Structure 1
Amino acid sequence: MPRRTPRTALDRVRTFRRLPGFLKTASVCVLIAGLVSPITQSAASAATSAAPAATANDYCGGRCSDILPPGENGNATLAQILLNQAFGTQPAHAEDQLGPYAGLATGYKGLSDATINNFFNDASFGVPSDQVASTEKPNGRGDVTIVRDKKTGVPHITGTTRYGTEFGAGYAAAEDRLWLMDVFRHVGRGQLTSFAGGAAANQGLEQQFYRNAPYTEADLQAQIDRAVADNGARGRQALADSDAYLDGINAYIDASDSGRYFPGEYDLTGHKNAITNAGTIDHFKITDLVALASVIGSLFGSGGGGEVNNALSLMAAQDKYGVEQGTKVWESFRERNDPEAVLTVHDGQSFPYGAKPATAKGQAMPDAGSVTQEPLVYDRTGSAATSAAKSASTSAARTDLSSAHRGMSNALVVSGKHTASGHPIAVFGPQTGYFAPQLLMLQEIQGPGISARGASFAGLSMYVELGRGQDYSWSATTSGQDIIDTYAVELCQDDYHYLYHGTCTAMDKVEQKNSWSPTLADGTAAGSYTMRVWRTKYGPVEYRATVGGKKVAYTSLRSSYLHEVDSIIGFQMLNDPGYVKGPQDFQSAAQHINYTFNWFYADSQHTAYYNSGDNPVRADGVDAEFPVWAQPAYEWRNWNPDTNTADYTPPSAHPNSIDQDYYISWNNKQAKDYTTASWGDGSVHRGNLLDDRVKKLVAAGGVTRSQLVQAMASAGVTDLRAEDVLPELLQVIDSSPVTDPAAADAVNKLQAWVGAGAQRTETSAGSKKYANADAIRILDAWWPLLVKAEFQPGLGSDLYNAFTGNLSIDEAPSAGHGPTGSHAGSSFQYGWWSYVDKDIRAVLGQDVQGPLAEKYCGDGNLGSCRDILISSLKQAAGMTAAQVYPGDSLCSAGDQWCADSIVQRTLGGIKHGNISWQNRPTFQQVVEYTSHR
């Protein structure tokens, strides 16, 4: 029977995947030959005239650098995807920033100011004429030029009109991230599976965000209308900029469609046909930008929640110890305002927020055993996809139950008083996870009222969101203060009506129906399901329970709900050289950002810090840690449910500072008396890794850029547990001679590792083997065993499990955690290191400020505690590498380096290799301005 000739590009790819290896080379060459012509035509269409002169002054003096792995180019044609899949070849600039980024893990020790740009890009404005790779007039416009440099392919957009500038920004964004932008506008609407297929990961992703932001198209448009109306001329300018930006995106869609160089993922998912050009790529519209913003705001700028989980653990503590002592135990583990916590604002200023009220009012604690999570998925069909999707849904549900909102960025900023040059130095950036293509993209924008270079989220790059202006730089870390509250709405009539101000009111039902057909891209069977969210005036329903026998629904209300667009004004200001001329202007701009971020600033003379977010003013007596009744007495002050607006704490009440000696941030506590929503802001936090190093540099004086990079990089390869907790554990063990040979051998290895710096680094660059590998394996195995052995006997299983629901015991590099799961890089933010530290110090008889309410290790007896530690250590030391690192789809069991390694998670067709672990921002700047306007 003759072989069927493939009729479509998708058929061609299926046939290619089935061919034996020795035939694939010839097959792919034939296929690519038929597709490569459009790529060549696209490249040839770019003009080659000289780069225009920079339109703005650059005051950085060549001392601004940045990096964003894997690379600027996030689009690939079908031919390029096939070449990557078959041979590992990479499109130009798809991963050229990955190698330098990875190299810092071992290269930082020999770093000098002169070699910084071996590991970073030169972030000066403009492109030298001998470094111009291409010059383009998008859509033939005369009012904007896009120049790309040879080294990184970053777009440098220069416009003579505001419209042309933003048109160019949109065009460049689509050139570099069109597929990713399309993916996330569908994620924001809960439509990813219908767009990209029913893979379990797709279902889990859309479910995660739809629960938090179940918006209708009218909701998305209303956000835009309010933002424009409420912000006068700046609001109108933001709308005009967005419209021009969209025009640029859509112009590129049309050009790539007619030229047949659109991203190959459209072909692989059945939206386009690379051979016949059948199919369409939908134009972007203004509400797509809101959908994108809702995803980013939910991921990185939305602190709080978890009140139901808090209530369950408090009830477990009170059940174990009684109400009075149980509450003390709970509060000691919560560490709302721990006196030993590392602070960003450390000059003694106090910024009270979220404190425990003297007498709590309005609490709506659930009856024991009555809490159930509100189902999200209905009407499911499908075979193979069904079980995987159920698993993804369950995983998403567990994440929603957690009060730990994942934040991963860091900042190190030193005042000019303590630097060698007399100018401030900053090393800072956001950790947005590792993806291929990356969620962020680099760009420079120069035009009327705009002058900036840096990173922006793909699809929201009408302004630079993190980067530099003419004579200043800014960056952010996730702050996590509590802007989300849980309300208990009393049900009436049935399960879908509730009492609102005494009136029985129907809930709003919001649904998103998705269906998908089998595609090669995700490998799933056909299927469909409906996501359903019930909304009240107090936000979406998350749980149901009874309170005092009354049926209630627990809802989640956040101040940024229905307001994701508002922050655009702050970003517009940060890009405006006419607005930001100093630290006070920077703080004013950051005040217009309603996401929960810590913002940092440096110019040639000053440094500054501001904590942003719409912090609601709560009613007197409301404890933000727990659910409260949905009644007027416990609502936010002057709350308007129609617009979800309220009174917010004034800017002066937010942690802020100018010209402190230094600032560090690694998602730690911001300031004295300022309570975040995160558990674990105690005596040991990964922020200590930065604070200890920067404090020493500042004390010595004469800080240089390379020294500050080294401090960041050193902290980024250090095991927090080993540096700050392990010495205390060994002190307990060494309180008597260790006679057991296995235990003694383990202790010797751990002590040697601590003495060598407690780092997880390769023996040499590229070796893929750790120095002190046995010690690392032992601690990775020991930590969960010792925490359980130390705390579970005293707490009891129920309370121990409840507390682990509030805060996981470990976040080692090889653990599956965070929004990207395992291989995520970011580590050691969430764990029981502070609890172990305080408990062990108490057992040793040392001074502990803010101690735990009880002693747990051996009931406080040093000898008994020592026995527990040695017993669990021996058990850990006897575990093989394969047991500690069980392997996954990427790594063989027992491969320690691979288990820790960072993977660029594929969001498209191009794959990149994994790199050695670093606990470090994804996008990062190193800046030292030499002059000021």
Structure 2
Amino acid sequence: MPRRHPRTVLDRLRTPRGIPGFLKTASVCALIAGLLSPIAPAAAAGTANPQAAAAVNDHCGNRCSDILPPGQNGNATLAQILLNQAFGTQPEHAEDQLGPYNNLAKGYPGLTNDKINTFFNDASFGVPADQVASTVKPAGRGDVTIVRDKKTGVPHITGTTRYGTEFGAGYAAAQDRLWLMDVFRHVGRGQLTSFAGGAPSNQGLEQQFWRHAPYTEADLQAQIDNAVATNGERGRQALADAKAYLDGINAYIDASDSGRYFPGEYVLTGHKDSITNAGKIEHFEITDLVALASVIGALFGSGGGGEVNNAISLLAAQEKYGVAEGTRVWESFRMRDDPEAVLTQRTGSFPYATRPDAPQGTALPDAGSVRAEPLVYDRTGSATTPTATGASGAAARTALSSARRGMSNALVVSGKHTASGHPVAVFGPQTGYFAPQLLLLQEIQGPGISARGASFAGLSFYVELGRGQDYAWSATTSGQDIIDTYAVELCQDDHHYLYRGTCTPMEKVEQKNAWKPTVADGTAAGSYTMRVWRTKYGPVEYRATVGGKKVAYTTLRSSFLHEADSIIGFQMLNDPDHVKGPEDFQEAVRHINYTFNWFYADSEHTAYYNSGDNPVRASGVDAEFPVWARPAYEWRGWDPAANTADYTPPSAHPHSVDQDYYVSWNNKQAKGYTTAPWGNGSVHRGNLLDDRVRELVRQGGVTRASLVKAMADAGLADLRAEDVLPRLLKVVTGAPVTDPAAAAAVSKLQAWVAAGSKRTETSAGSRRYADADAIRILDAWWPLLVRAAFEPGLGSELYRAMTANLPVDESPSAAHGPTGAHAGSSFQYGWWSYVDKDLRAVLGEPVKGPLARAYCGDGSLGACRDTLVRTLKEAAGTTMAQVYPGDDVCAAGDQWCADSINHRTLGGIKHGPISWQNRPTYQQVVEFTSHR
């Protein structure tokens, strides 16, 4: 049985020692009764007579659906938080999308088109009259109406003026996510601990984000000024929209304060007094939106980096094998342009960040000289260790990675292969599982805006992923490299460097944080200072020596100081007068500088475009490694003051219209296009989608239901079991398996493969897997077999360096993997391709893009088989408790729970775990039946 809820990103929101153990039930009830006296949030907002929201120009024909767990309502009063923590009760619409989302895992095999909305919401425009739950004129305005539906509580915002429309969007966002928005504006400024307390996870979270975007207030304002100045009328409109949106947020803050129905977290963190109402919720400012955008950009839209780690592993390979052979070995593991990788765009070539024939300017560190630049100074009291180690670092890595390394995916099929003749799309972003969710749902209808979908809380003046009147769009993280590492030569001291021949002082940017305990906090008072040294070439990340010279390694990101620029692209996507077809869509997303794959469908066409400001690098520069900070190796056309450069033209980005089908699961975009993540080889989770969609297209007559089924089926598959285990068993069973334990394990694994290699429950709600023992065996076997197959040949040092570049395993229960435990996302990062290619080489089968040498059994089939049988026997002997050791959510040995998805709390409301499924958080199912 679960022991207790996990420590969360905002630990201090737990009431003292947990309500059930600290206060008697009668005391809790009395306290709650006293707190219920303020009016409920919906009533306080000024409910008018219910009326239907107008449905305008909806070409979906009731064939648009979406889902976003756990629920639309992410705000809770103090009374609701206390009830939730004492008795598990939920505020209205706090988790009503969680059940349908969860149930698809068992319900998809029998899915038909008319059952889709059993597992999704109807995403048609408007609200039928009999489904209207409330109608609000925010702040008494006559130019905007917010209608919420009974089923989900999603706001449908209709304005007669542009200002009123955006005012309503801000008001509705604050109704649903005020606390979360406040948290993340402070995260973006590196001020979370001062705002929400010094819990280790809070410290880790602000450290991780602020290091990537250490902005001053002047930097934040400059982004706004630049976005407006460089985008003409659209820039001016964006600024007006943002200001109206802020006015709506602040109007809700004032109303909730006077009505005393503001989020209860403000009381638990000491910002408001529940009895006297003393205290203040700060109004939002325009620069808060940039701080929020910097967090989103760091999470999802900034591919690249890692050049120092790449250099360390290259040096280890060269030390092991010599320079020439070591480089060849390293390149074979890097798989920059693997010919067997699954592609989103299957035609054409788009060379980017390719390996130069004669690399120039590379600045590899001297062996053993690299040291991470300290971030945290002057720690006092409960301040924990920096993010590299300790509880703070673990919490931050878990929170950050669960979102950044999510499993956004897309399945889009052209109308020539569908039953209706219209394109069908099932797509959505993965933003991690949080309570409340980072995204919110909304519909916005007003002058120049007509859209429904999901937006990041605090940035929802436009729909960022969703549908328009006759088209829909979505995105997946692409990860192409827009970040480079420069070696700046130091002069005078450690805080001066050579910039174009002149000794130049680094800029010191500091953020001081101090916190004190409250009644709801078990952490003592403390403080620390975060400090980043900035250069023209970006913030300092490491110190080292290169050829004996002292250097600082800096990180230069093309979107640094430019997160606000993408606002124009989102504005265009919401504008029905702009997007009238696939070319207009592609033109819109070209204005988004985040590294995303964008997908589009209307009633006639599909389209794809890869966005991001891809810098034009100097000839001979290898983007995989640090280079010298000298003019010859700078980005072409680079202006260090504005951090602008020459960027590759749209024609050089992967893009197409009306391909037979598109799939994306953070896989390789196109031939020649080098993405930053390692592991884009012969086995990638993108294959799980590609195999299924390709077969549907071959058969023809694709429907919304069949495409959802393909997505759900892939989302329950164990990639290792489906695409690698058959070859492992082929090697193992190449001769009789005489050991009884190994033979029994082989039989169980074979049966699992024959049954479809899924991680599914025996029945809905059973919390027990079919093929449970086979799953246990593979979970135990995979890390054992990888190490036993590769470490002897690579050597321990090189093996460790390679696993730092690419973790060995990311099964659903792999708490040690990149995403941490209970995050849902699985099988994005792992040695799947290495094992696959190595086994084929050992078996004598064809391999395109092979590893530089065979590793398992040193290339001997017999020795490889012995290695696999030995490790399989060891894995078979492990117990459930050893493989799934238990944590704050699960008891040791509870396999289903170890895999389960748990919403990490960012506020006071918590939710129970749901069964594992590898799919987007927000997801659309769309098929438009007509076009303007």
Q: Is the Cα–Cα contact under 8 Å of residues 385 and 524 in structure 1 kept in the other structure? A: no
CA distance in 1, matches of 2:123, 2:400: 41
**Which shows bigger deviation, 465-474 or 379-388?**
379-388
CA shift at 1:62, angstroms?
0.1
The residue that corresponds to 1:47 in the other structure is 47
Deviation by residue 1:247-295 (Cα, 9 ceiling, x = unmatched): 0000000000000000000000000012100000000000000000000
State whether structure 2 residue 876 is matched by structure 1 residue 881.
no
Q: Is the Cα–Cα contact under 8 Å of residues 451 and 467 in structure 2 kept in the other structure? A: yes
The residue that corresponds to 2:689 in the other structure is 690
The residue that corresponds to 2:63 in the other structure is 63
CA distance in 1, matches of 2:793, 2:576: 59
Q: Is the Cα–Cα contact under 8 Å of residues 16 and 28 in structure 1 kept in the other structure? A: no
CA distance in 1, matches of 2:506, 2:630: 16
**Which shows bigger deviation, 39-48 or 820-829?**
39-48
Deviation by residue 1:77-122 (Cα, 9 ceiling, x = unmatched): 0000000000000000000000000000111001000100000000
Q: Is the Cα–Cα contact under 8 Å of residues 384 and 524 in structure 1 kept in the other structure? A: no
Q: Is the Cα–Cα contact under 8 Å of residues 102 and 916 in structure 1 kept in the other structure? A: yes
The residue that corresponds to 1:896 in the other structure is 895
Percent of aligned positions with the same letter in both sequences?
A: 80
Aligned AA (1:858): G
Aligned AA (1:570): G
Return closer, same or farther for 1:97/1:379 CA change in 2, 3 Å cut-off. Answer: same
CA distance in 2, matches of 1:591, 1:728: 42
CA shift at 1:16, angstroms?
9.3
The residue that corresponds to 2:472 in the other structure is 473
**1:773-788 correspondence to structure 2 within 5 Å:** 773-788=772-787
CA shift at 1:182, angstroms?
0.2
Unaligned runs of 5+ in 2: 1-10
CA shift at 1:390, angstroms?
5.7
Q: Is the Cα–Cα contact under 8 Å of residues 433 and 820 in structure 1 kept in the other structure? A: no
CA distance in 2, matches of 1:901, 1:520: 32
Return closer, same or farther for 1:818/1:557 CA change in 2, 3 Å cut-off. Answer: farther
CA distance in 2, matches of 1:339, 1:829: 18
CA shift at 1:14, angstroms?
6.2
**Which shows bigger deviation, 379-388 or 268-277?**
379-388
Aligned AA (1:24): K
CA distance in 2, matches of 1:275, 1:784: 55
Q: Is the Cα–Cα contact under 8 Å of residues 380 and 530 in structure 1 kept in the other structure? A: yes
**1:828-907 correspondence to structure 2 within 5 Å:** 828-907=827-906
Q: Secondary structure at the match of 2:163?
A: helix
Aligned AA (2:201): A
Q: What TM-score, normalized to structure 1? A: 0.97
Q: Is the Cα–Cα contact under 8 Å of residues 405 and 678 in structure 1 kept in the other structure? A: no
Q: Is the Cα–Cα contact under 8 Å of residues 437 and 907 in structure 1 kept in the other structure? A: yes
State whether structure 2 residue 409 is matched by structure 1 residue 446.
no
CA shift at 1:770, angstroms?
0.3
CA distance in 2, matches of 1:676, 1:156: 38
CA shift at 1:30, angstroms?
1.3
Return closer, same or farther for 1:45/1:806 CA change in 2, 3 Å cut-off. Answer: closer
Return closer, same or farther for 1:624/1:318 CA change in 2, 3 Å cut-off. Answer: same
The residue that corresponds to 1:272 in the other structure is 272
The residue that corresponds to 1:7 in the other structure is none
**1:241-256 correspondence to structure 2 within 5 Å:** 241-256=241-256
Return closer, same or farther for 1:609/1:886 CA change in 2, 3 Å cut-off. Answer: same
Return closer, same or farther for 1:658/1:528 CA change in 2, 3 Å cut-off. Answer: same
Deviation by residue 1:673-707 (Cα, 9 ceiling, x = unmatched): 00000100000000000000000000000001000
CA shift at 1:399, angstroms?
9.3
CA distance in 2, matches of 1:290, 1:135: 31
Q: Is the Cα–Cα contact under 8 Å of residues 12 and 521 in structure 2 kept in the other structure? A: no
CA distance in 1, matches of 2:924, 2:812: 24
Q: Is the Cα–Cα contact under 8 Å of residues 491 and 499 in structure 1 kept in the other structure? A: yes
Return closer, same or farther for 1:71/1:785 CA change in 2, 3 Å cut-off. Answer: same
State whether structure 2 residue 327 is matched by structure 1 residue 327.
yes
Return closer, same or farther for 1:909/1:20 CA change in 2, 3 Å cut-off. Answer: closer
CA shift at 1:46, angstroms?
3.0
The residue that corresponds to 2:8 in the other structure is none
State whether structure 2 residue 314 is matched by structure 1 residue 314.
yes
Deviation by residue 1:40-70 (Cα, 9 ceiling, x = unmatched): 4852653332425526210000000000000
The residue that corresponds to 2:283 in the other structure is 283
Q: Is the Cα–Cα contact under 8 Å of residues 304 and 405 in structure 1 kept in the other structure? A: no
Deviation by residue 1:294-323 (Cα, 9 ceiling, x = unmatched): 000000000000000000000000000011
Q: Secondary structure at the match of 1:664?
A: strand
CA shift at 1:36, angstroms?
1.0
CA distance in 1, matches of 2:590, 2:16: 56
CA distance in 2, matches of 1:635, 1:59: 49
CA shift at 1:579, angstroms?
0.1
The residue that corresponds to 2:4 in the other structure is none
CA shift at 1:428, angstroms?
0.2
Q: Is the Cα–Cα contact under 8 Å of residues 207 and 387 in structure 2 kept in the other structure? A: no
CA shift at 1:29, angstroms?
1.9
Return closer, same or farther for 1:849/1:520 CA change in 2, 3 Å cut-off. Answer: farther
Aligned AA (1:880): T
CA distance in 2, matches of 1:575, 1:61: 20
Deviation by residue 1:686-741 (Cα, 9 ceiling, x = unmatched): 00000000000000000010000000000000000000000000000111011110
Q: Is the Cα–Cα contact under 8 Å of residues 768 and 897 in structure 1 kept in the other structure? A: yes
Deviation by residue 1:171-207 (Cα, 9 ceiling, x = unmatched): 0000000000000000000000010011111111100
The residue that corresponds to 2:339 in the other structure is 339
Q: Secondary structure at the match of 1:310?
A: helix
CA distance in 1, matches of 2:24, 2:49: 40
Q: Secondary structure at the match of 1:680?
A: coil
Q: Is the Cα–Cα contact under 8 Å of residues 406 and 818 in structure 1 kept in the other structure? A: no
The residue that corresponds to 2:669 in the other structure is 670
Return closer, same or farther for 1:817/1:419 CA change in 2, 3 Å cut-off. Answer: farther
The residue that corresponds to 1:4 in the other structure is none
CA distance in 2, matches of 1:633, 1:749: 60
CA distance in 1, matches of 2:383, 2:239: 44
Aligned AA (1:728): R
CA distance in 2, matches of 1:479, 1:59: 30
CA shift at 1:518, angstroms?
1.1
Compute the RMSD of aligned alpha carbons. Answer: 1.9
The residue that corresponds to 2:735 in the other structure is 736
CA distance in 2, matches of 1:235, 1:401: 31
CA shift at 1:523, angstroms?
1.9
The residue that corresponds to 2:548 in the other structure is 549
The residue that corresponds to 2:823 in the other structure is 824
State whether structure 2 residue 426 is matched by structure 1 residue 427.
yes
CA distance in 2, matches of 1:573, 1:324: 50
**Which shows bigger deviation, 11-20 or 840-849?**
11-20
CA distance in 2, matches of 1:51, 1:456: 25
Q: Is the Cα–Cα contact under 8 Å of residues 600 and 606 in structure 2 kept in the other structure? A: yes
CA distance in 2, matches of 1:579, 1:466: 16
CA distance in 2, matches of 1:387, 1:621: 37
The residue that corresponds to 1:238 in the other structure is 238
Q: Secondary structure at the match of 2:48?
A: coil
Aligned pairs, number: 921
The residue that corresponds to 2:5 in the other structure is none
Q: Is the Cα–Cα contact under 8 Å of residues 64 and 925 in structure 2 kept in the other structure? A: yes
CA distance in 2, matches of 1:139, 1:468: 28
Deviation by residue 1:321-356 (Cα, 9 ceiling, x = unmatched): 01111100000000000000000001x211110110
CA distance in 1, matches of 2:618, 2:18: 62
CA distance in 1, matches of 2:394, 2:283: 33
CA distance in 2, matches of 1:100, 1:361: 55
CA distance in 2, matches of 1:864, 1:283: 68
CA distance in 2, matches of 1:818, 1:655: 30
CA distance in 1, matches of 2:852, 2:48: 71
**1:362-761 correspondence to structure 2 within 5 Å:** 362-383=361-382, 391-395=390-394, 406-761=405-760
Aligned AA (1:177): R
Q: Is the Cα–Cα contact under 8 Å of residues 423 and 930 in structure 1 kept in the other structure? A: yes
CA distance in 2, matches of 1:256, 1:235: 32
Return closer, same or farther for 1:19/1:873 CA change in 2, 3 Å cut-off. Answer: closer
Return closer, same or farther for 1:17/1:661 CA change in 2, 3 Å cut-off. Answer: closer
CA distance in 2, matches of 1:686, 1:11: 37
Unaligned runs of 5+ in 1: 1-9
Return closer, same or farther for 1:235/1:383 CA change in 2, 3 Å cut-off. Answer: closer
Aligned AA (1:672): K
CA distance in 1, matches of 2:161, 2:380: 52
Q: Secondary structure at the match of 1:38?
A: coil
The residue that corresponds to 2:3 in the other structure is none
